[in-house]
Structure 1
Amino acid sequence: MSLTHPSGPGALRLMFPQWQGAAGPSTHQLLPGVDAHDTQLSIHLGPALLALMSPDHDGPTAYVPVSTDTSHEALATVDGIYARGAVVRQLREALRILRDAAPQSVVTFGGECSVSVAPFSHLASIYGDDLAVLWIDAHPDTGVPGDSYTGFRSMALAALAGEGDAGIVAELPALIPPAKILQVGLRQWKDEGIAVKERLGIRSVGITDTPDDSRRIQDWLAGTGATRVAVHINLDVLDRRDFTDTAGAATDGIRMADLARLVADVSGVAGIAGLTLTQHLPVELMRLGGLLRDLPL
């Protein structure tokens, strides 16, 4: 099995276009000029485009069914989580798929960040303390219910560490100890989740633009004793000079070449058992879709 591109009979490509973990009103504001309904569903479209442009996969592919219902009832905030009903149903279905397929490695093309919760928990149930997590993201994702932002994507990493909504945490087959988690590229230090991150003692490394930064991550990974690693990549960590179809991109992010080098360097220390790509928002395609609906096609 290739360390940087998990494949083969024990691997699974998981298509999980969940968008409900991104709280609606704030998401609408990210894409001016795009219909509010289309803005939410742009997160749903992103994973299919990621898969289309990716190398051929020689293992099985599974699809998590995701509702596209944007009614007020479907998106109701319950227990401090936006669209909690849909989030929980889709989490359960993803876990069922993983349980039935029993993959040794998982590549996830996802909508928002909470799609990593099911595959990373599944991998933790297989590898236990032999699994570490790199969370490459501009945001900490360690929020909890009761925070002002109610999207579950901001709570994903906290849930994996056993914090937050007790019902959701109880659904997970295994948790990730905070000492086995490293955040990379974090630059939103004013998020409410920072308090939970610091209380749990989750360590972080900033923008990785030199080989020295990679060595710090390699040293941390070697120090955990883990021989497997799951890597979460939120595309909002990228520098806007390289990529713009994501949320909150800025010119102080990780360059694409540095991200590729980092993942390759990490694979020299531990086998990559999980790799997630999230938050591809194909803004221009959504605008084009609006035009196509207005034309007599």
Structure 2
Amino acid sequence: MASKTVRLIFPEWQGGVNPNYAKGAEILALIAPQGNQCETFRVPVSEDFDKELEFTDGFYGKIAILAQQKAAYQILEKSQPDKILTFGGDCSVSQAPFDYLHGKYQKDMGILWIDAHPDISEPEDFSHEHAMVLGNLLGGGAPSIAEIVKHPFTPQQVMYAGLIESKLMDYEAKKLDKLKIPYATPADLADGGQPVIQWLKENKFKYFAVHFDLDALSPKDFYSLLCNEPHTPPVDYAVGQLTLADTVHMIADASKEASLVGLTIAEYLPWDIINIRKEFAKLDIFND
């Protein structure tokens, strides 16, 4: 029987408190390879971009995020896919797809988290929920969002790729040390994705899902990143160092060792497109 793949367009932006993430998701879904058999679903997301997000339980946007995550779960439970392509949006969009897939593949499944940041914060650490999503999947993170996770992962089922170790916050370093999640820095991946393949082999994973936060990429290699927002000063947070070509090659090589059943692409910010749309909207001729 052929496997069923769905494309999930999930323009959630409240986790990153940035409406531009929603625009990025829509554009990403449009330009990505379309496939031949994929059925596409769109998660309904609040587009009240001008309204200030409420601050509840230590982070912004809880009400919207919870409703949107539940909607994503409902779509997946009804459609029952075998594989999921998710177009985000901020990093929060991986929760429902990965939780659903874990229920299907259980202990035979691992997560490759390609990111410059660990995403295991808690509300007392940070106020943006997209920095908590992997924590949610591990049973920590934001309690009010984590409580809807049905199939929590163990730290042994996760590996980071592209993590910028030198820029970890103290609390992040302590959490990682406690969880013992393995990671490969950009330097570790300089000669290829062998650390990832070795991790898959050692854990005997038959299936894996990839969370690809585009901020794992070097802003010199790939422009459409938060850190490259025009007319803003240099950022002080971790900036990625991977290249797009090498990262895709790493995923492809890993797919020869285990079946890739989930791929999230998150935090795409095509600034030229976003800004040309924003500026042209000021001309009456576009609004007639």
Is TM > 0.5 for Structure 1 vs Structure 2? yes
TM-score (norm 1): 0.86
Measure, in 2, the Cα distance between the counterparts of 1:252 and 1:14: 25
CA deviation after TM superposition for structure 1 residue 158, in Å: 0.6
1:70–1:294 CA distance, 2 compared to 1 (3 A): closer
CA deviation after TM superposition for structure 1 residue 295, in Å: 1.9
Percent of aligned positions that are identical? 33
CA deviation after TM superposition for structure 1 residue 128, in Å: 0.6
Task: Report the more deviating stretch, 199-208 or 231-240.
Answer: 199-208
Contact 1:178/1:200, CA 8 A, preserved across alignment: yes
Measure, in 2, the Cα distance between the counterparts of 1:271 and 1:292: 44
TM-score (norm 2): 0.89
1:267 maps onto 2:255 in alignment: yes
Gaps of 5+ in 2: 229-237
Cross-structure match for 1:4:
none
Cα deviation 1:119-143 (Å, max 9, x = unaligned): 0000001111010000000111010
Correspondent of 2:160 among 174, 183, 186: 183
Contact 1:163/1:169, CA 8 A, preserved across alignment: yes
CA deviation after TM superposition for structure 1 residue 268, in Å: 1.1
Measure, in 1, the Cα distance between the counterparts of 2:187 and 2:33: 25
1:251–1:141 CA distance, 2 compared to 1 (3 A): closer
Contact 2:162/2:240, CA 8 A, preserved across alignment: no
Cross-structure match for 2:232:
none
Task: Report the more deviating stretch, 83-92 or 209-218.
Answer: 209-218
Q: Which amino acid aligns with 1:259?
A: T
Correspondent of 1:279 among 258, 267, 275: 267
Q: Which secondary structure does the structure 2 equivalent of 1:62 belong to? A: strand
CA deviation after TM superposition for structure 1 residue 63, in Å: 0.6
Q: Which secondary structure does the structure 2 equivalent of 1:193 belong to? A: helix
Contact 2:5/2:82, CA 8 A, preserved across alignment: yes
Q: Which secondary structure does the structure 2 equivalent of 1:173 belong to? A: coil
Cross-structure match for 2:174:
195
CA deviation after TM superposition for structure 1 residue 273, in Å: 0.5
Correspondent of 1:80 among 33, 47, 58: 58
In the TM superposition, 1:84-103 aligns within 5 A as 84-103=62-81
Correspondent of 1:21 among 2, 6, 15: 15
Correspondent of 1:166 among 132, 137, 143: 143
Contact 1:144/1:193, CA 8 A, preserved across alignment: no
In the TM superposition, 1:59-78 aligns within 5 A as 59-70=38-49, 75-78=53-56
1:252–1:80 CA distance, 2 compared to 1 (3 A): closer
In the TM superposition, 1:34-183 aligns within 5 A as 40-57=18-35, 58-70=37-49, 75-147=53-125, 149-183=126-160
Cα deviation 1:65-94 (Å, max 9, x = unaligned): 000123556x11111121101110001110
Correspondent of 1:255 among 243, 246, 250: 243
Please, what is the CA RMSD of the aligned residues?
2.0
